[in-house]
Amino acid sequence: MQTMDPRLLKHVIGAAIDMGYRAIDTAYIYGNEKAVGEAIQAKIDDGTVTREQLFIMGKLWSTFHRTDLVETACKNSLEALGITYFDLYMIHNPMSFKEGPDPIPKIASVVQFSEYDYLDAWFGMEGLVSKGLAKSIGVSNFNSVQLLRILEKGKIPPVINQGTPVEYKNSTFAVIDDPLVKVMASGLGVSPAQLLIRYQIDSGHNVVVKASCANHLWDNLQALTFELEKTQIDALNALNKNKRTFTFKGMGETHKNYPFLEPF
């Protein structure tokens, strides 16, 4: 649901739930929790789904990493969404920003960092599970060293490390436009998007796809109707460019916990 026009949301979420989608990925920083919540409620009210049939994810923003702020941040997001618990709540990224109302606090264009740390946030996250505010907790955009630190110091292991390996828009090497992808998809009678989603599924990854029109939603769902051979997965693996295009540019490259300096 990232950066989608709130006016489109109700239509898109309604169409997605009607088609059978059940996972909804939200975040405080996307600024649209209220609109997402209203769209979900409309589908509960019209009897299409129950709350229990949905898997709703949320993300703790970086200005709420101090342990005692986590519960309030989570409750505020739940209230905006009109729900009483998250199925999965994640730390959005490992960089802690100075606490306060501004989500990306800056002085003279310089992002202000917090003295607290993602581990402080994790301790708060663990409290959400015991209070029933989150059924499971995880992280997002963490590197392997940061994950290990949480595994060592925390009581509950994260169930997920979400992230975005490739920024689709404005990318100079959008894999969906790669000639091999186009040829392979055409040979299989599927769309490039279906091929790439299936590639991720058959590689053992959980895929969270964003689409803002019903055609794309339907197209992507059809990725569940076929499987790839190992040789096809190997051919797609060979397209690897060893590059990361989602880098939190301008948001904290100098932060001590900037995650993308480690190889993984």
- Specify binding-site residues for substrate: 92
CB-CB neighbours of 241 under 10 Å: 9
Which residues lie across from 166 on neighbouring strands?
A: none
- Asked if 49 interacts with ligand NAP (CB under 6 A), we say no
219 binds ligand NAP (CB under 6 A): yes
Among 213, 237, 244, 253, binds ligand NAP (CB under 6 A): 213
The Cα–Cα gap between 263 and 257 comes to 14
Annotated active-site residue 30? The verdict is yes
The verdict on 193 binding ligand NAP (CB under 6 A) reads: yes
Task: Kindly state the smallest distance separating residue 47's Cβ from ligand NAP, in Å.
Answer: 26
87 near ligand NAP (CB under 6 A):
no
What amino acid is encoded at 112 in this protein? Q
Phi and psi at residue 199, in whole multiples of 5°? -55, -45
Q: To the nearest whole angstrom, how small is the minimum distance from the Cβ of residue 59 to ligand NAP? A: 7
| Using rule CB under 6 A, residue 162 touches ligand NAP | yes
Closest distance to ligand NAP from the beta carbon of 1 (Å): 6
Annotated binding site: 92
Q: Does the footprint of ligand NAP cover residue 260 (CB under 6 A)?
A: no
Quickly list H helices, the chain. Answer: 6-19, 33-45, 67-81, 118-130, 144-153, 179-188, 192-202, 214-221, 230-237
Residue type, 197: I
Measured from the CB atom, the residue of 60 and 193 that comes closer to ligand NAP is 193
Q: Which one of 9, 21, 25, 111 is in contact with ligand NAP (CB under 6 A)? A: 25
Q: Which of 84, 88, 76, 82 is nearest to 29 (CA)?
A: 76
| Residue 161: strand pairing partners | 139
Minimum CB distance to ligand NAP, residue 133 (Å): 20
Site for ligand NAP in 141-160 (CB under 6 A): 141
CA distance 12 to 28: 19
Binder to ligand NAP among 164, 171, 232, 245 (CB under 6 A)? 164
Question: Are residues 114 and 161 in contact, defined by beta-carbon separation less than 8 angstroms?
Answer: no
Please give the backbone phi and psi of residue 124, each rounded to the nearest 5 degrees, phi first: -65, -40
CB closer to ligand NAP, 27 vs 133: 27
Q: Which residue has the tokens 């709420």?
A: 64
How large is the C-alpha radius of gyration of the chain? Answer: 19
Q: Determine, following the binding rule CB under 6 A, whether residue 209 of this chain makes contact with ligand NAP.
A: yes
Residue selected from 7, 155, 169, 241 as contacting ligand NAP according to rule CB under 6 A: 169
Q: Are 37 and 8 in contact (CB under 8 A)?
A: no
* Binding residues with ligand NAP: total (CB under 6 A): 22
Binding flags for ligand NAP, 101-140, as an x/- string (CB under 6 A): ---------------------------------------x
Q: Which of 60, 55, 56, 51 is nearest to 30 (CA)?
A: 60
Place of tokens 């997402």: 36
Q: Which residues bind ligand NAP (CB under 6 A)?
A: 1-2, 25, 92, 140-141, 162-164, 168-169, 191, 193, 208-213, 216, 219-220
Residues labelled catalytic? 30
